[in-house]
Structure 1
Amino acid sequence: MLDVTTPTVVTMEHATLYLADAYALLPRLGWVDAIVTDPPYEFNTSGGGSFREQRGHTDQIAEEGLDQGFDHSIINSLLCGSVVVFCHNDQVPALSAYLQGSFSRSVLCMWIKANPMPMANKHYVADAEIYFHAWNRDHHPQGSLAEKKRHVRSQVGRGGKYGHATVKPDTVMDKIITNVAGKVICDPFMGTGSTGVAAVKAGRTFIGIEHNPKHFATAVERLRLAHEQRVHAPP
């Protein structure tokens, strides 16, 4: 169990990263403009047939408890202006009801996978992932008309590169950050820092929380690189 009273903190010019329990720490951080997060899904990781051995990330998801869902109360509409949250198809009814009861408006969006795994496991092919964008007054979606499409198409992420089973692609996170209002972005389930990288690239301030030391270390390195690239980016 992490000692949340004295979490490990790494600070950078445009980011603050915490190795801590998000449920204990997030309420203590105060107001943020937006929560953008990919929390643990709630789904059955069994099955897979002949593809199981090729899908090592499924075993990793189960081992790290990323199939156990999350407590919706961590998304507190009194502490943020808007939220973007990924979820499994089976989580949609409960999460939708929670967001509609907490925020002024919400919309279901989708990441369409250009290269989905060719299997269905007695379901539909997992060729898309759902995310909700919910907001309160003055925190509505941002961007041009073309940037406000409710879907984004991209290749599956680079989990193998970062040692995490559910890494979201840069294309997906860049679009989401474009659509989110405000300066300060928080991800309480930071993983390896994909939300933070997109936020720093977009000139936002990022707060990330992750409880897994291995993924936290990866996030620190990714955010440091993002800062370096921002400094050396052409004006």
Structure 2
Amino acid sequence: MQEGGGRLETGKEAAAVYKTEKATLYYADFLEIAGSMEDNSVDMVFTDPPFELAGGGMKNGKLNYEGGEIFRNYGFSTKNIPFTEWIPEIYRILKSRRYFYVMTNDRNIFSIHKACVDCNFKFCELLVLDKKMTVPSTYYPKRAEFILMYRKGNYRKSHFLGSTVIEERMPRGKEKRHPTEKPVSMIEHLVLCSTLENEVCFDPFMGSGSTGEACIRADRRFIGVEIEDKWFTVSQNRIMQL
């Protein structure tokens, strides 16, 4: 642990908490530790939440990632967490006049939006991630994913650069740590647009830690939660190397 300057703690509520100067990673179920997080305590939330992959009608859709394993639609034990259970907690812990970004595919966009507006989030933008690659589908091949942007309370002036279409190459081959990993550069762009130096960014489903890497590179602090042992370890190793 000395290499990354961090330390690993154990406790009853979380199996492990890994800490560095800029990051705190919880090996836990977000819904189980959310109550220990203070109201109005984070400055931004970015997450790519667990849900069923949309195969566009394909029965045997699969994704390969580092290690040569195959991920199928039923690969995560956490994929069925209702949006209505965790999004209200995000609203509670996010500071007023701050921003919440949530990744979605075309199948879940309406359910996520309803859960957000039902707990008083204000809709800001629908951002499009142009992945510069297509995925086969029963209908039109899919090239995009979506990022719903919301705010809590009134507008906070920030430096929103670029446009609502973000073109980024998706991680591939050995650079890909997680089957649904998103580009660090894309997340870093959103972090820089929406927060100030040393503010706190949070990801309740951090996966392999892309959000954490983006935040640290942007000189922000990061809090992440991951319930799957494999991905917590990957995230921990990733943060240690920064």
Same fold by TM-score, threshold 0.5 exceeded? Answer: yes
Q: Is 1:208 the counterpart of 2:224 in the alignment? A: yes
* Kept in 2: contact 1:42–1:90 (CA 8 A): no
Structure 1 pair 42–139 and aligned structure 2 pair: CA distance change class (3 A): farther
1:155 alignment partner, one of 165, 169, 179: 169
Alignment correspondent of 1:116: 134
Structure 1 pair 216–6 and aligned structure 2 pair: CA distance change class (3 A): closer
Q: Is 1:33 the counterpart of 2:50 in the alignment? A: no
Give the TM-score, by structure 2 length.
0.79
CA deviation digits over 1:188-215, x for unaligned, max 9?
Answer: 1010100000001111110010011111
* Kept in 1: contact 2:44–2:94 (CA 8 A): yes
| Structure 1 unpaired stretches of 5+ | 227-235
Q: Partner of 1:166: helix, strand, or coil?
A: coil
Give the TM-score, by structure 1 length.
0.81
Mean Cα deviation higher: 85-94 or 100-109: 100-109
Q: Partner of 1:90: helix, strand, or coil?
A: coil
2:206 alignment partner, one of 183, 190, 198: 190
CA deviation digits over 1:50-101, x for unaligned, max 9?
Answer: x857x44673442224653543332232220331111121111121122223
Alignment correspondent of 2:7: none
Q: Is 1:62 the counterpart of 2:74 in the alignment? A: yes
* Kept in 1: contact 2:61–2:72 (CA 8 A): no
1:1-235 alignment to 2 at 5 Å? Answer: 5-30=13-38, 31-45=41-55, 48=58, 52=61, 55-56=63-64, 59-65=71-77, 67-68=79-80, 70-75=82-87, 76=89, 77-81=91-95, 82-101=99-118, 102-117=120-135, 119-120=136-137, 122-137=138-153, 140=156, 142-144=158-160, 147-158=161-172, 161-181=175-195, 183-226=199-242
CA–CA distance in structure 2, aligned partners of residues 107 and 56 of structure 1: 31
Q: Partner of 1:215: helix, strand, or coil?
A: helix
| Structure 2 unpaired stretches of 5+ | 1-10
Cα deviation for residue 138 of structure 1 reads 5.3
Q: Partner of 1:115: helix, strand, or coil?
A: strand
Structure 1 pair 139–12 and aligned structure 2 pair: CA distance change class (3 A): farther
Q: Partner of 2:133: helix, strand, or coil?
A: coil
Fraction of identical pairs, as percent: 23
Q: Partner of 2:109: helix, strand, or coil?
A: helix
Paired residue type of 1:91:
N
Paired residue type of 2:37:
L
Cα deviation for residue 45 of structure 1 reads 4.7
Q: Partner of 2:142: helix, strand, or coil?
A: coil
Structure with higher helix content: 1
Count of paired positions: 218
Alignment correspondent of 1:232: none
Structure with higher strand content: 2
CA–CA distance in structure 1, aligned partners of residues 229 and 155 of structure 2: 33
CA–CA distance in structure 2, aligned partners of residues 85 and 129 of structure 1: 11
Cα deviation for residue 32 of structure 1 reads 1.3
Q: Partner of 1:74: helix, strand, or coil?
A: helix
Q: Partner of 1:98: helix, strand, or coil?
A: helix
